[in-house]
Chain A
Amino acid sequence: MKKLFYAFPILWIFIPILFFSCSEEPIPYELSEGDVISFRIDPDSTSYFRSYQTAPEMGGLSELYYGKRDGFSEIYSLVEVYPVSAPFFLDTTYSSDSTSYNFVDSIKSVTFSLTLVDSSNSQYHPVLSYFSGDVDTTIFLENESSFYAIDPTLEKIELDSSISYTDTLENVHFSFDATSLFNDYMLETTRLNSYTFKIGGDGETDSLVAFTNPKLEVQFSRTMGIPDSTWDSTWVDTATYTARYKLIIVNPGEWEEGESTFSIGRAKGLKSILRFNLDTLSMLPDNIIFKDADLYLKCDTTINSFKVFAYPFKDSISINDIDLFSVEQMDTTALEFIGATSSTVDSLLILNVRDFVNYIYLNQLTHYELQLSSSTGNDPFSTLTFINAGPFKPYIIMRYVATN
């Protein structure tokens, strides 16, 4: 009986199980579709689409500019070639065990040079100025300083005209002799030194000239000696100082625009505020998910590609509070990028605003204003204007999925 007890239960349990295969196959059945609902939001009386002007945003570009372009009265670049070390050129340096010393015995030459992006602009000579005032001329920060932040009364020294030359790769370079400037100002230890240069057009330049690689090259003679010895050695060396800061300064002028259009453009400092009435989103059912949400904007010209950034405002804003032509009104740090991208079809710019719509639906945002700005990838001097009139007013279409 004991044998039966041991063997019998196990067999009776497991033998039937062998005939059952554990499997799970979905059963086809006519389920309700699950709603995919699309709707369109058009402007209403609480909507507005307005441009406003802030400081030009010219940072982050790989090229610098001088010269002229339609719509801009003044375009120049600032570069700072810090750190130039005055003690290196003025003092005697001893080795760590004091068995030798060396010093710069003479400055042979100092040149400031730049390279044109397009060698066909070689006839447009730049004008180089040095900020010589006894002040801290580290007055600009890339991405922040602008035409309005540069004091036009700052003392400047204009250098002699440039010399152009073409290298073996057919690149055109302009160089300025800055030897006396270097000796008289940059090595002057009794004052707060400036290392900032301005590169502008010569007034005759009627084109926008792009350039790169601004730098200061110092050729000097150096002597090495041994204390209590008549032995010494002299050779010629070169120190190159490239630009630590680079900035394009543009006088944006005043932008005037009616209510039937709104625009964006970096050099003009133009951004736009869009407000749709999105109260509808709070009336949507719980537990839905947006599949698409797109903002449609009609451009006034045909464009091939133009990337637009859209930022929701963290705080609510009243259109009446915006001085449209004040350059200090908006604080871009108060905005948060939501990753909108755009594409264009037949001058219709389509902006993916699904994140923005979702923010509002999930009560992460309680206001509906959206800021449009031009991406850094666009031509910084171009301005894109959108139509806000008649059948071409902006609109949003979106569709969501309701799983229940």
Chain B
Amino acid sequence: MLLRIKVVLFSLVALLSVGFSQSLMNAFGIGSPASNFDAASMGTSPMSLLPSFQEGVSISNPVTWSQLHYTYLTGTYGGQQSEIQSGLMKNGRTYLQQIQLIIPIKKKYAFGLSIGPNTNRLYSIVGVENLVDDGIYGDSLTVRKSVSGYGGITSLKPSVAFPLTSLESMAITIDYLFGSSRGITSISIDGTNYIQKEQDIYSGTMMKLFFHSKRLKYKDYGMGFYLSLKNALKPLSVNRISHQPFEDNNESGNHDGSYYSDFPDLSLIPDAIQSNSIGEIDPFEIQVGLDVNIRPRLHILSEGSHWYDRGDNGHTVSVLNDKIVSLDQISLGLALFSRRLPRQILNQFHYRGGFFAKQYTLYHKGKRIDEKGFSFGFGVKFGVTDNQIDFGFSISQRDGLDVNGELIQQFSVGISLGDIWFIKRRER
């Protein structure tokens, strides 16, 4: 019965996933890094390295998984809404953030497998209408360009965690990146659309190392130090398939038509041009986090990260001819975890909250984009196997782009269903 309910719930979540909210940020480079935090991490700052799921455990940090008492199947579903021009323009979507299986083994080791979106390329941008004088033809054209895209990169991540010493442990995650996205460029000239479509296909492999030490202590406070380093085993490469542009005479948006056909005729379309490795993303990331246990169940969480792209041509992939070259992030959060064996209903809850600041740097423009916000959330345990539902919400404001004052609201709901695997049962 329990298994059937689990299947139904996860099928529901999977069916409802439709993508990400579109944004200008998604049009830079290979797109905006997806906010695919688990719901517990989102409520804390958001931060992924530090324990926020349960005391000592982060769903997104495999080095902490050995602390779990049960095997967990976790699904996170979320939504994002962005508003610009003081709410005059809204874009919103809901989407599946990740599905993850975590298997702790004998309180020492852990194995996990997760799949979720890595990068989002959903965008729809419309340019300004211009009157272009043509000296050779002796006329003027009304020209307006618009670009749109959808799709992105998916990440499949197997992870293993193991102890180094009695106080230190380590984890390795291999991040297989794959997927594709579609880009559509449309130039409207005197009311007729000239459309080009292209498909980008991605592949790459990253490796991320996690480290955790309990060695640090300050006065009577227990402290946990967390570190992660991410590097490319095989930099993410982008292969592009470019289709012949066409004049969309029948306004279908596709290159088609038999009676009132598009130009050029379908029979004349040459093979699509395939360009290999038109862009390469070679990221390096370092994350450092500190977890200070100031009172029983109450933790102050602080995390900082620096991500930058060493690839030199990732901007060519972008319709805006630019890319995010670096992302710096700091966050500070507070978490009050539930009791292990709660007697009151309020003690079943985890409470989380925090502030964060991000700074993106664009490659060509050198422009800095700042994002500041806060988040909060809570989780509740239920069932004998510590099933848990988590809820996270964040509000932030992004400035620095030509579209200033972008208000972004995000929510995440996570369901983690526990079961007993690889745990020695008592003999009857």
Q: Which residues of A contact B (CB under 8 A)?
A: 1, 4-6, 8-9, 12-13, 16-17, 19-34, 36, 38-40, 286-289, 291-292, 354-355, 358-359, 362-364, 397, 399, 401, 403-404
Query: Which A residues are CB-close (under 8 A) to B90?
Result: 21, 23, 25
Q: Is B147 an interface residue (CB 8 A)?
A: yes
Known: A292-B137, A403-B245. 9 other contacts (CB 8 A): A12-B413, A16-B391, A17-B79, A23-B92, A28-B128, A29-B125, A31-B145, A33-B145, A38-B134
A4 touches B382 (CB 8 A): yes
Per a CB cutoff under 8 Å, which of A16, A27, A292, A358 touches B125? A27
Find residues 239-289 in chain B having any chain A CB closer than 8 Å to their own CB.
Answer: 242-247, 263-264, 268, 270, 273
Give the one of A22, A26, A34, A40 with max B CB within 10 A.
A34
B185 touches A34 (CB 8 A): yes
Query: Which A residues are CB-close (under 8 A) to B22?
Result: 24, 27
Find residues 168-193 in chain B having any chain A CB closer than 8 Å to their own CB.
Answer: 185, 187, 189
Find residues 116-173 in chain B having any chain A CB closer than 8 Å to their own CB.
Answer: 123-128, 130, 132, 134-137, 141, 143, 145-148
Per a CB cutoff under 8 Å, which of A6, A12, A354, A399 touches B391? A12
Q: Is B105 an interface residue (CB 8 A)?
A: no
User: How many Å lie between the Cα of A288 and that of B263 in the bound state?
Assistant: 12
User: How many Å lie between the Cα of A363 and that of B135 in the bound state?
Assistant: 29
Main secondary structure of the interface of A (DSSP, over half): mixed
B194 touches A289 (CB 8 A): yes
Query: Which B residues are CB-close (under 8 A) to A364?
Result: 268
Give the one of A4, A9, A17, A355 with max B CB within 10 A.
A9
B264 touches A362 (CB 8 A): yes
Which residue of chain A has its CB nearest to the CB of B186?
Answer: A403
User: How many Å lie between the Cα of A222 and that of B341 in the bound state?
Assistant: 121
User: How many Å lie between the Cα of A362 and that of B22 in the bound state?
Assistant: 35
What's the least CB distance linking B256 to chain A, in Å? 15
Query: Which A residues are CB-close (under 8 A) to B380?
Result: 8
Main secondary structure of the interface of B (DSSP, over half): strand
B91 touches A29 (CB 8 A): no
Q: Which residues of B contact A (CB under 8 A)?
A: 5, 9, 12-13, 16, 18, 22-24, 77, 79-81, 84, 89-94, 123-128, 130, 132, 134-137, 141, 143, 145-148, 185, 187, 189, 194-196, 242-247, 263-264, 268, 270, 273, 319-321, 380, 382-383, 387, 389, 391, 393, 402-403, 409, 411, 413, 415
Query: Which A residues are CB-close (under 8 A) to B135?
Result: 38
Which residue of chain A has its CB nearest to the CB of B93?
Answer: A22
User: How many Å lie between the Cα of A68 and that of B197 in the bound state?
Assistant: 60
Query: Which B residues are CB-close (under 8 A) to A22?
Result: 18, 92-94
User: How many Å lie between the Cα of A12 and that of B387 in the bound state?
Assistant: 14
Listed from nearest, the 8 A-B pairs whose CB atoms lie closest are A31-B127, A38-B136, A289-B245, A26-B126, A403-B196, A20-B79, A34-B187, A403-B185
What's the least CB distance linking B191 to chain A, in Å? 12
User: How many Å lie between the Cα of A136 and that of B206 in the bound state?
Assistant: 85
A36 touches B411 (CB 8 A): no
User: How many Å lie between the Cα of A17 and that of B130 in the bound state?
Assistant: 40
